[in-house]
Structure formats: C-alpha cells, structure tokens
C-alpha cells in the first residue's frame, strides 16, 4: 500500500516538471452512495447522501491532467428498500461518514483548455487513479446486539467519466460520475456471522461506493501557461 502511494507521488512530481502546464483549483458537490450486501440492486435510490470536496488539477496539456483532492460524504443503506426474504429477515441498516483522499489521471477526448479559443469549449473525459478512504459504519439489525460500530481505513480504485465545460473567463464547470472499487467487505460493518442459516455478509463480494455530482473550478494563469503546448 505504501509503495503505491510512493509511485503516485513520484508520477505527480515528475509530470509537473515535464510539461508546460496550468492549474485549476476547484470545488465538488453532489451525492455519495454504497453498493454491497445491504444494497445490491438499486444503489443510487437507496439512501444517497450529500458529498463535498476540494481538488487541485494540474493540466499537463490539452488532453491529460493530474488531479488530486479530498472528499467528505456519507454512506447509508437499509434492507427496507428490498423485498427478498433474506433482506426482510435481517432488517439491516447502516450509516457512516466517508473521508477520501485521491490522485487521478484524466484524459480528455477532445483537446480542451479553459479560456483558450483554439480548443473546444467542452469535452467528455475519463479518469482512473488510487484513493485512501476511512469509514466508521454504525450497523443495526434484528439479531445484532444493539448498534455495532467499527472503524476502517482502506484503499480504493476510483474510475469514471464526466463532461467539462467553459463558463466565463477562467471559470470551468463539470459533471462527473465515479465508482470506487474497494478491497474490503466491511464498509457496511457486517461480519461474516450466520443467523439461523442466513449469512449476513459475503466475503467473496467486496463493497463499492460511488460519488456523483458537479465540479466548479478556476484556472490559475502562470508564466508557463503562455508557452506553446502541443495539441495532442
């Protein structure tokens, strides 16, 4: 895990020196939701919660950018949204704060730069990266002895897509949907215990979470921003 973060930091540092760049500072706002044993079928409809974030984007050229930042949101789900016999038996629900720090590589399908007339005013894009997250799920259920609370720190793989738009001057706007693949089945706080033949958690099927919403960012002009960047 530590090696992965060293690689990411080295990639960001080397990339920042290798290209002529400009940078964006931005805000994100939207919703976060969970996918797992308590919510396998209708993820975005089962108690989505608000999320906010800050980010710093280093535009390497008109196609590629490195972005890293932090998000805060909430995750929740309940069996009451499902109609299966097992779900009805368990009456499970959970609620958790979500903290996330990430580093991403973005790729623009169309050459794009804020406040640059020779590039497109909008572009679809995709992203992939690595993130560290922390959750503290509080879980309730029919056969749980009161409310069970745990604390978990883990690593996830963020990936997704979006659209970037020019607004006015150096302002930009975006729409984004991203999934997070985790390597744990404990985001919802469920153990692998059995209750009268029913397994509460499937350790072979890890939990996921997602963040969707909008971005608002401001392009910071620097001396390097005036150089002639290649149009990849």
Residue 211 inside a domain? The answer is yes
Beta bridge partners of 67: 57, 104
Other CB atoms within 10 A of residue 211 CB: 23
**According to the model, what pLDDT value does residue 139 have?**
86
* Residue 125 in domain: yes
Residue 231 within a domain: no
- Within 10 angstroms of residue 18's Cβ, the number of other Cβ atoms is 9
pLDDT value, residue 178: 96
The pLDDT score that the predictor gives to residue 217 is 96
- Whole domain around residue 146: which residue ranges? 2-226
What is the structure's pLDDT at 38?
85
Measured from the Cβ of residue 72, the count of other Cβ atoms closer than 10 Å reads: 14
Sign of the alpha-carbon dihedral angle for 2, 96, 190, 130: negative
Q: pLDDT tens per residue, the chain (232 residues)?
A: 544 544 444 444 444 444 446 899 999 999 999 998 888 766 667 889 999 999 999 999 999 999 999 999 999 998 765 555 445 556 788 999 999 999 999 999 999 999 888 899 999 999 999 999 999 999 887 666 556 778 999 999 999 999 999 998 899 999 999 999 999 988 988 876 555 555 565 666 899 999 999 999 999 975 555 554 444 4
**Tokens at residue 54, please?**
């800050």
Residue 104 lies in a domain: yes
pLDDT of residue 141: 74
DSSP, collapsed to helix, strand or coil, labels residue 35 as: strand
In a domain, 204, yes or no: yes
Dist. CA 112–CA 228, nearest whole Å: 14
Inside any domain, residue 68: yes
Which residues have CB under 8 Å from 64's CB, separation 6+? 105, 106, 107, 108, 232
Distance CA 30, CA 17 (A): 33
Q: How many domains does the chain have?
A: 1
In a domain, 232, yes or no: no
- What's the confidence (pLDDT) of residue 203? 60
Give the largest CA-CA distance in the chain: 69
User: DSSP string spanning 59-76?
Assistant: E-SSSEEEEEEEEEEEEE
Asked whether residue 164 is assigned to any structural domain, the reply reads yes
Q: Which two tokens stand for residue 65?
A: 């950018």
What pLDDT sits at residue 210? Answer: 96
CATH code, domain with 105: 2.40.160.20
């Amino acid at each position: 895990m530590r090696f992965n973060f060293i690689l990411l930091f080295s990639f960001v540092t080397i990339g920042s020196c290798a290209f002529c760049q400009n940078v964006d500072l931005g805000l994100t706002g939207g919703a976060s939701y969970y996918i797992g044993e308590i919510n396998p079928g209708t993820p975005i409809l089962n108690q989505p919660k608000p999320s906010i974030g800050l980010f710093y984007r280093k535009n390497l050229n008109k196609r590629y950018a490195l972005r890293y930042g932090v998000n805060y949101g909430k995750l929740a789900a309940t069996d009451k949204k499902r109609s299966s016999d097992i779900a009805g038996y368990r009456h499970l629900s959970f609620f958790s704060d979500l903290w996330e720090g990430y580093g991403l590589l973005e790729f623009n399908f169309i050459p794009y730069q804020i406040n640059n007339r020779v590039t497109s005013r909008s572009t679809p894009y995709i992203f992939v990266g690595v993130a560290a997250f922390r959750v503290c799920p509080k879980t309730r259920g029919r056969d749980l002895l009161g409310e069970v609370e745990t604390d978990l720190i883990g690593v996830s793989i963020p990936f997704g897509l979006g659209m970037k738009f020019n607004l006015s001057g150096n302002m930009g706007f975006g729409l984004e949907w991203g999934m997070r693949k985790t390597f744990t089945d404990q985001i919802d706080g469920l153990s692998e215990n059995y209750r009268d033949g029913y397994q509460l958690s499937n350790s072979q099927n890890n939990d996921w979470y997602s963040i969707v919403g909008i971005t608002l960012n401001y392009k910071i002009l620097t001396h390097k921003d005036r150089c002639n960047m290649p149009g990849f």
